[in-house]
Amino acid sequence: MRVLVVNAGSSSVKLALLDGDDTVLAARELPAPHARVDPGALRDALGSLGAADAVGHRVVHGGTRFRAAVRVDAEVERALRELADLAPLHQEKSLAALAAVSAVLPGVPAVACFDTAFHATIPEAAATYALPEDWRRRWALRRYGFHGLSHAWIARTVTAPRVVSCHLGAGASLCAIRHGRSVDTTMGFTPLEGLVMATRSGSVDPGLVLWLQEHHGVAARELAEALDHRSGLLGLAGTADLREILERAGDGDARAVLARDVYLHRLRAGIAAMTAALGGLDALVFTGGAGERAASVRAATARGLTFLGVAIDPDKNAAAGGDADISAAGAPVHTHVVTAREDREIARQVRELLEG
């Protein structure tokens, strides 16, 4: 089965056609800065890719209902729109891409594959917020987790019993994986919780947010915009580009040094917390744009985790390109760099659903 994978991001829609053995036959990336892609450009792009038997869409939030990939129909689409407020940076973009591609390929089955689904196995102790019970029941308040398609790929690629997967991109999250199943993660009810990200704050004291509302009249919409779009590395260093921050930090720029150090502090603390959830660590995995390309981030992270048994080989780390084991000789914990392949995970889920 040839699967067209559609991944709608913040500024573009990525299209890739995979054949039955997951070889990428063709790929295109179309600009979509406002979650809309030009219909003519989309039609031309899809025509140039070749015929597909099915389309797999990356959808960020599946809520409590969608715990596995599902074929999209009108009812499913309505349910997904109801979840848009929980992932405002992503859900509308995914739905816009779904509508656009389905309009061009109306006879091709469309399947939604969810970033939240891999985390459906998280135990209640890790998923539950200490909030009033009637709130939790009425509004399904829980920790959902995200980047599940990426973490699921790591679980299939690195088969150690206890793995911490570090997806480090513009969005960033960690996942504790025990025997291939998610048991904890750093993102929660929305993709805002957890690590410091490019423009997202990660975890902040909710009392701080309430204080801004009560004492300074900061409106909810302004808070949401600031936490999602003007915080994280951008808020700390004036840029969301981690590469620029690392270069400036190397030159002694104070704002960049602070941004780098806050980022690393939260990252190391998160990995230690995920290790506690697993009861130990057998493998540490870096993936995503920064995880795959920022050797200095991997090195600094490892230096702060020697107490867990993490040690990497400097030469292997510096040379890592694509999938690589960068562990130091004799290190009790294996450290890997793995290329993010959500496209292969989506294609696998589509085939599993449609072919049984």
**Taking residues 23-39, what's their average pLDDT?**
86
**Taking residues 126-138, what's their average pLDDT?**
97
With 80 as the cut, is the pLDDT of residue 36 above it?
no
Specify whether 115 is catalytic.
yes
pLDDT of residue 39: 86
The band of 288, judged by pLDDT with boundaries at 50, 70 and 90, is very high
**Taking residues 94-112, what's their average pLDDT?**
95
Alpha carbon of residue 11 to chain centroid? 16
With 90 as the cut, is the pLDDT of residue 32 above it?
no
Q: Do the domains spanning 3-114 and 148-337 agree at the CATH topology level?
A: yes
Give the orientation angle of helix 242-250 with respect to helix 295-303, to 10 degrees.
70
DSSP string, 182-220: EEEES--SSTTSSS--SS---S--HHHHHHHHHHH---H
Percent with pLDDT over 70 in the chain = 98
d(CA 184, CA 299): 24
The band of 302, judged by pLDDT with boundaries at 50, 70 and 90, is very high
**Taking residues 92-101, what's their average pLDDT?**
91
Predicted TM-score of the model (pTM)? 0.95
Kind of pairing between the strands at 283-287 and 24-31: unpaired
**Across all residues in the chain, what is the average pLDDT?**
95
At residue 76, the 3 state secondary structure works out as: helix
Q: 148-337 in CATH: which number?
A: 3.30.420.40
With 90 as the cut, is the pLDDT of residue 11 above it?
no
Task: List the catalytic residue out of 22, 115, 184, 228.
Answer: 115
d(CA 165, CA 163): 6
pLDDT of residue 86: 78
Give the architecture-level CATH label for domain 3-114: 2-Layer Sandwich (3.30)
The band of 353, judged by pLDDT with boundaries at 50, 70 and 90, is very high
**Strands (E) located in 105-244:** 110-114, 162-168, 172-178, 181-185
pLDDT of residue 34: 66
The region of weakest confidence among 8-17, 100-109, 238-247, 270-279 is: 8-17
The band of 85, judged by pLDDT with boundaries at 50, 70 and 90, is confident
What are the residue boundaries of the structural domains of the chain, listed by start? 3-114, 148-337
The band of 89, judged by pLDDT with boundaries at 50, 70 and 90, is low
pLDDT of residue 297: 98
